[in-house]
Amino acid sequence: MNKKLEDALNKQISAEMNSSYLYLAMAAYFESINLPGFANWMEVQAQEEMVHAMKFYKYIFDRSGRVELMSIEKPPLKWNSPLNAFDETLKHEKKITSMINNLALLAIEERDLITHNFMQWFLTEQVEEEKTANSLFEKLRMIESSTDALFIIDKELATRVFTPPATATTTAATKA
């Protein structure tokens, strides 16, 4: 893997860690306004983003590259409303999608089909990330002033659990 692509992948590690930190800050915000289901959803989202960061981290090493960790931005402490938080979530996921697209295109430009193949999982993942964020944003937009509906959604979001993605190692161990 060449240096240009390695640097871009290192920047993506930082972006994924920033995403995790942002969602953890949103979880803290939701806890502070007594919406534990929303907080749970964001905590799971934060865990998923760290898994994404670690996939990039391990991939760089798998390709004999060098990981260079960068600083993480301080996230906001509060949002105007749950709707505002999910509007920011959707915008953030679209930004990450753009970054993932650019990495896939850079891999093609640099004629690194192995990295391009690696990026396919992330491209598919971003479709799901945007779809989920958009769905929650739209639900919140529809119920904007209904406290009852907000609590129903909060109860629904409390059921989300973190499920680490399967890897070749866990799949083989499961079959044994």
The answer to whether residue 169 sits within a structural domain is: no
- CA terminus-to-terminus distance, the chain: 34
When pLDDT is averaged across residues 130-137 and rounded to a whole number, the result is: 96
Q: How many domains does the chain have?
A: 1
Percent of the residues in the chain that have a pLDDT greater than 90, as a whole number: 79
Integer-rounded Cα radius of gyration of the chain: 18
For residue 144, pLDDT over 80 is answered with no
Question: Across residues 71-84, what is the average pLDDT?
Answer: 96
In a domain, 174, yes or no: no
Give the residue ranges of DSSP H helices in the chain: 3-32, 36-62, 82-109, 113-142, 147-157, 168-175
Instruction: Please report whether residue 175 resides in a domain.
Output: no
Q: Which domain holds residue 11?
A: 3-164
Write b or e for each residue in 1-30: b if 16 or more Cβ atoms lie within 10 A of its Cβ, otherwise e.
beeebbebbbebbbbbbbbbbbbbbbbebb
CATH number at residue 149: 1.20.1260.10
Question: 21-30 pLDDT, tens per residue?
Answer: 999 999 999 9
Assigned domain for 171 exists? no
Residue 70 lies in a domain: yes
Residues in the chain: 176
